[in-house]
Amino acid sequence: MLPPRLVRRLVLAPLVFVLAVAAIVGLPVLALVALVASVPASRQRRGFRVLSLAVAWLLLESVALVACLALWIVSGFGGRIRTAPFQDRHYAVVRWFLASLYSVATRAFGLRVEIDEPPATPEEMSRRLTRPVIVLSRHAGPGDSFLLVYHLLKLYGRRPCIVMKAALQFDPGLDVVINRLPHAFVHPRRTAEGMVTAEIQRLAKGLGPADALVIFPEGGNFTPGRRVRAIERLEQANLTEQAERARGMSNLLAPRVGGATAAIDSCPDADVIFVAHTGLDHLITIGDVWRDLPVNQVIQAKWWRVPAADVPREREEQVSWLYDWWERIDTWIDESKTEAQVRRH
């Protein structure tokens, strides 16, 4: 259960500073533990890599929290915190944090990110600057989600509006920043689907030319059990055709189409971008990172843009269209995994 906001501000946020100071003071001991954890050589200096990322995360988040506190004070103790200038400043804080963490992570783990995106034609470059976008992304763990938001901010100059799980507010930095920017938090077990749809509609109606509404239609990370339950849910709703199509996808959960169609209907001028990632999709928890450290790997991403004029407007056509794209993404993931295996051998 998520604690009240006041508790999160008075307990969880200061805890970040306590942990950061403890990490700096105890760095010699932590380094010794990391050395032991990195033996034998087959562990690829696992302890040092994880330690460097953890310490960097704590330090960067501490700085971000200080910046947010300064912005709150300068805004008149929150009085102007939601005005356009302060929104831009908060996006700048997020951009700095993600860019810094991206630099540390790629160096510590030797990662390389390859993005296959639409060709940079004059029309494409113009649309990047002048069109709101609805981003429908595969839900592939925190690593891939982090990369998606980073690229939207850093490479494309977009201002993401994100629909995310409410539990992510346990992270103090994310909690403070996101609650000051356009967003929608979802409580999977408590929030009715209609309420989620209404929140998505609210965000979509407010999209400007530089904004990007980010939705993860699957609603959660892929697991075999979730895949089966998603298919069963469609069958119980007598959506036989959708259930059959979902059964044919081995890497993705059946998309929950209500949120995506609500966003499209609420902002008909928006282009739709489909995003797929692979390479970090098996890393969900800290334990996953420790057991299967992603060292010297290539993270592949694929972005497809569909102009607003080519997006279906009738409900049945939209559902079929979304499943078409999800099947295309599933095929791309299979092909990417095969290429990765060939590369490793």
Sign of CA dihedral 223, 226, 227, 228: positive
- The answer to whether 41 touches 290, Cβ cutoff 8 Å, is no
Of 246, 244, 248, nearest to 257 (Cα)?
Answer: 246
pLDDT at 281: 66
- The answer to whether 173 touches 12, Cβ cutoff 8 Å, is no
**CA gap 314, 24 in Å, rounded:** 57
Q: What is the pLDDT along the chain (345 residues), one digit of tens a residue?
A: 788 999 999 999 999 999 999 999 999 999 999 888 777 755 677 888 889 999 999 999 999 999 999 999 999 999 999 999 999 999 999 999 999 999 998 888 888 888 888 887 888 888 877 889 999 999 876 677 788 888 888 878 899 998 888 888 999 999 999 999 998 888 765 556 678 888 999 999 999 999 999 999 998 888 889 999 999 999 999 999 999 999 999 999 999 999 999 999 999 999 999 999 887 666 656 666 666 666 777 888 899 999 999 999 999 999 999 999 999 999 999 988 777 666 655
pLDDT at 177: 94
Cα 222 to Cα 163, 218, 273, 289, 323: the distances in Å are 18, 8, 20, 16, 16
Of 262, 295, 259, nearest to 107 (Cα)?
Answer: 295
Q: Which residues pair with 133 in a beta bridge?
A: 212, 271
